[in-house]
Amino acid sequence: MFHNHEKHITAKTTPTNLTLLESPQQLLANTQHQTQIQQITQYCALTEHKFADIGLDLIHTIAHYYQHLPDTNGHYLRTNGLIDYTIMRTEAALALFKKYYLTEENTHHSVEQQRWIYALFSGSLLQGIGKLMISYKISLIDTHHTTRLWNQLLGPATANDRYYNYEWTNNVDAATRQRITILLAQQLMPTAGFSWIAQDAAVLNQWLALLAEDEAAAGTFGAILERAKIIAIQHEIQTILTKSQLFQPDKLTNKLGRFIHTPQDTLTNVQQLALGAEFVEWLKQELANGNFLINQYPYFMLIPGGLLMSQLLFKRFAEQHAKYKNETMIKDAFLALNIHELNTSGNLFSRFEHAKNNKMLSGIVVNTTILPDHIHFYNANDNTTTKVSTIELMHRAEHNLHTKPLEHLDNNGKWVAPKQTLSFIQPGIKPRG
């Protein structure tokens, strides 16, 4: 339900201003990227020489093709958004894999484990790269001011190319994007890196599934990367909050009565996003602490692919944050983050039937951006609460609640079932249809 975080972008009638083509070293020179690359290097657990050959080389190749482009992902629709989002989700995916899905707690991974880790690393970097030929129309301008359309399948920009510009194409053909991604991936992969993956059929199959955006076929890797994308969005929301230090809501909210809107007191866009980000951070903390339970009426009910969130939470937030007196203002700020989904009629509130008492529940369908790494799940059958991984919870909710739990990788490079069965995870609502 929520895997596609991309916005439908209206094509521009004229190209953007010319942008200077930069080398990968220039594009990745900032402190954030250097820190992330150092962390990625550690997660891959390869020798320095081998990572430079098949790891850093691939990062530089991706940076060359992405340049300063914004991403089609609505949360990274800004300069450098494409490379920032890609590196952020890759670091997050490797961190999740190391923390939760390697059975041996050691820093000296076997060659078999290293191969799997490299497949996740490269698959995360390359997934979606086909959008360069689907969602963008990129032109290269050389030193003689000659303009040509950049066909990435025919190779990189040349030494004579000096500038580029782009237009949105308004093309959202996912199937073609996925096919082009696989073609580009083989071309852009370091030869030694691709050969290493191709030597193991199981690794190759999951790597191809990642590139095809087939989460179910990608197994544990697919679920990890989906969660990593959410973490990348969470990071961008946290950045909004960090940058809003000058936001002083007291002067504004003291003027507002509960549920009252007046034109002169509306929030600016920056203020609204900051308030929405603060609300999301509060939700994550409350869920992590177990103050709100998944599937305990009325706040959060598990539904396929996401959650049904009660609007009572806006009231709870206002009660705990005296500076925010207006529940409607809080709700609008949350909606501005675009991490919710409208119902089939285009309305905000969706209705589901409770799985136990047959009551009709009304709420806002939200994606997993509001969830911390672990949540507390309420089992109505025996009135117990269990702490579970958000990756596991949403994987089962999205595909099949009776499917097997995500497997872990042992030191021999074999996938093994975890000890916890998670059979208690059931939806909080009755299935439709």
Average pLDDT over residues 299-317: 90
Is 236 in contact with 369 (CB distance < 8 Å)?
A: no
Instruction: List the beta strands (DSSP E) in 114-228.
Output: 136-142, 147-149, 161-168
Average pLDDT of the segment spanning 182-198: 97
- Residue 3 falls inside a structural domain: no
d(CA 103, CA 50): 24
pLDDT of residue 430: 56
| Contact call for residues 407 and 416 (beta carbons, < 8 A) | yes
Average pLDDT score over residue span 2-29: 67
Q: At what angle do helices 201-211 and 111-126 cross, to 10 degrees?
A: 20
Q: Indicate the pLDDT class of residue 281, thresholds 50, 70 and 90.
A: very high
Q: What is the mean pLDDT of residues 367-381?
A: 89
Distance between CA atoms of residues 152 and 48, nearest Å: 29
Span of 84-88, 146-150, 167-171 with lowest mean pLDDT = 167-171
Residue 346 lies in domain: 247-416
Based on the fold, state whether residues 393 and 261 are members of the same structural domain.
yes
- Within 8 A by CB and 6+ apart from 416, the residues are 103, 407, 408, 409, 410
pLDDT for res 266: 63
Residues 99, 174: one domain? yes
pLDDT of residue 252: 42
Stated pTM of the model: 0.86
Give a yes or no: residue 226 inside a domain. Answer: yes
List C-alpha distances in Å: 259 to 227, 277, 294, 318.
Answer: 35, 20, 28, 11
What is the reported pLDDT for 403?
58
What is the pLDDT confidence band of residue 38, given thresholds at 50, 70 and 90? Answer: very high
Output the pLDDT for position 372: 95
SS3 (DSSP) at 122: helix
Residues 388 and 255 in one domain: yes
Co-location of 24 and 89 in the same domain: yes
What is the pLDDT averaged over residues 365-393? 89
Q: Final residue of a domain: which of 172, 199, 234? A: 234
Q: Is 46 helix (H, G, I), strand (E, B) or coil?
A: coil
224 and 324 inside one domain: no
> Predicted confidence band at 23 (pLDDT cuts at 50, 70, 90)?
very high
Residue type, 145: H
Q: Are residues 251 and 171 in the same domain?
A: no
DSSP symbol at 299: T
Cβ proximity of 233 and 369 under 8 Å:
yes
The pLDDT tens digits of the residues spanning 228-240 come to 999 999 999 988 8
pLDDT at 155: 96
Looking at the structure, do residues 285 and 223 belong to the same domain, yes or no? no
- With a cut of 50, say whether residue 251 has pLDDT above it: no
Measured distance CA(212)–CA(178) in Å, rounded? 5
Q: How confident is the model at residue 37 (pLDDT cuts 50, 70, 90)?
A: very high
210 has a pLDDT exceeding 70: yes
Q: 303 pLDDT band (50/70/90 cuts)?
A: confident
- Could you tell me if 274 and 388 lie in one domain? yes
pLDDT score of 106: 58
Say yes or no: 211 and 286 in one domain: no
User: pLDDT-based confidence at 325, cuts 50/70/90?
Assistant: confident
385: CB partners within 8 A, 6+ apart: 290, 293, 376, 377, 378, 379
Question: Domain containing 61 — which CATH number?
Answer: 1.10.3210.40
pLDDT at residue 392 in the model: 84
Same domain, 262 and 395: yes
H-helix segments, 243-389: 250-253, 269-288, 312-320, 327-335
The pLDDT value given to residue 236: 92
Q: Share the mean pLDDT of the chain.
A: 86
Tell whether 428 is covered by a domain.
no
Q: How far apart are CA 307 and CA 366, in angstroms?
A: 5
Read off the pLDDT of residues 46-68 as tens digits, 9 standing for 90 and up.
Answer: 999 999 999 999 999 999 999 99
Q: Within this chain, do residues 49 and 138 fall inside the same structural domain, yes or no?
A: yes
Tally of structural domains, the chain: 2
421 in any annotated domain: no
Q: How confident is the model at residue 404, as a pLDDT?
A: 67
pLDDT (mean) for 388-400: 77
Q: Residue 396: enclosing H or E segment and its boundaries? A: helix 390-398
Q: Is residue 260 part of a domain?
A: yes
Of 135, 211, 152, the C-alpha closest to 178 is 211
**256 and 222 share one domain:** no
Position 81 confidence tier, pLDDT thresholds 50, 70, 90? very high
Place 181 in a pLDDT band, splitting at 50, 70 and 90. very high
